[in-house]
Structure 1
């Protein structure tokens, strides 16, 4: 059973995110709080969405997918970027991961979006096998790039000061 997350799911969603971080050997990097998740998912300007996979017999949460909308300048359409997909070890092999992926693919098609993308750790062979089984292909020639911490601050200091905090430029200012 796949369903949209609700505010009542925040404690379990937070726990699942921490389980994922532990699985990915990066628990110390998972610093998001339940309150931050509440704002991101259910606040006045949601920036992400989540689905919960629940066990069909017990209703217990088995996993989750957290995603947000992106945009392709080449196709001129929005797309879906899967930030996290996680299924608890005891629930693996029951189809929850594939069901989450199928639900996300359906969201893409229902909304007329052209792409469904995500990144996966190169050592996660089990996840890679699931992704290949549903027809996902690696994007050869592309690598993920990321700026954080001091490097992010240093680059921003080189010219981002002219932008307004509401993401609009002041090109229409007098």
Structure 2
């Protein structure tokens, strides 16, 4: 069953966030408190959907808002899509993606983006098979760390 994440899901959700980071060779530092703030805080930053069995979550999708201000368009970025290793290939990813697209439409988004690593051919093929089109970025992107390093 797919449903919106709840505060009770946060420990399992955090474990899956870390598993996705590990899969990509990254080290996650997100905590349950971080997820609580970003999903259920005073200013929610993310929306998460989970694929839930009675006692266990098998996957999740996390979306965040985007905009193309010059076109008056709202969008969503499918920031994460994860399915537990033992359940891949069972249609859970497709179901989470479909629910994510429904959520975006319900919130008046006119587009959804997703990013894959250049070498992740499995994810690229998955998104192409679901109707996404390659949308390479143009221009340079810059970042500024706002966290005090002292």
User: Matches of 2:130 and 2:139 in 1, distance apart?
Assistant: 22
Give runs of aligned pairs for residues 1-174 of structure 1, distance below 5 A: 1-27=1-27, 30-55=28-53, 60-140=56-136, 142=138, 145-147=141-143, 149=145
Q: Is the 8 A contact 1:14 1:34 kept in 2?
A: yes
**SS in structure 2 at match of 1:3:** strand
TM-score, normalization: structure 1?
0.77
Segments of 5+ residues of structure 1 without an aligned counterpart are 154-174
User: Matches of 2:47 and 2:17 in 1, distance apart?
Assistant: 14
User: Matches of 2:23 and 2:95 in 1, distance apart?
Assistant: 21
**SS in structure 2 at match of 1:139:** coil
User: Matches of 1:120 and 1:49 in 2, distance apart?
Assistant: 19
The superposition leaves residues 48-70 of structure 1 with CA deviations (integer Å, 9 ceiling, x where unpaired) of: 11011135xx6521111111111
TM-score, normalization: structure 2?
0.88
Segments of 5+ residues of structure 2 without an aligned counterpart are none
Considering Cα pairs closer than 8 Å and 6+ residues apart, tell me whether 1 or 2 has the greater RCO: 2
The structure with the largest alpha-carbon Rg is: 1
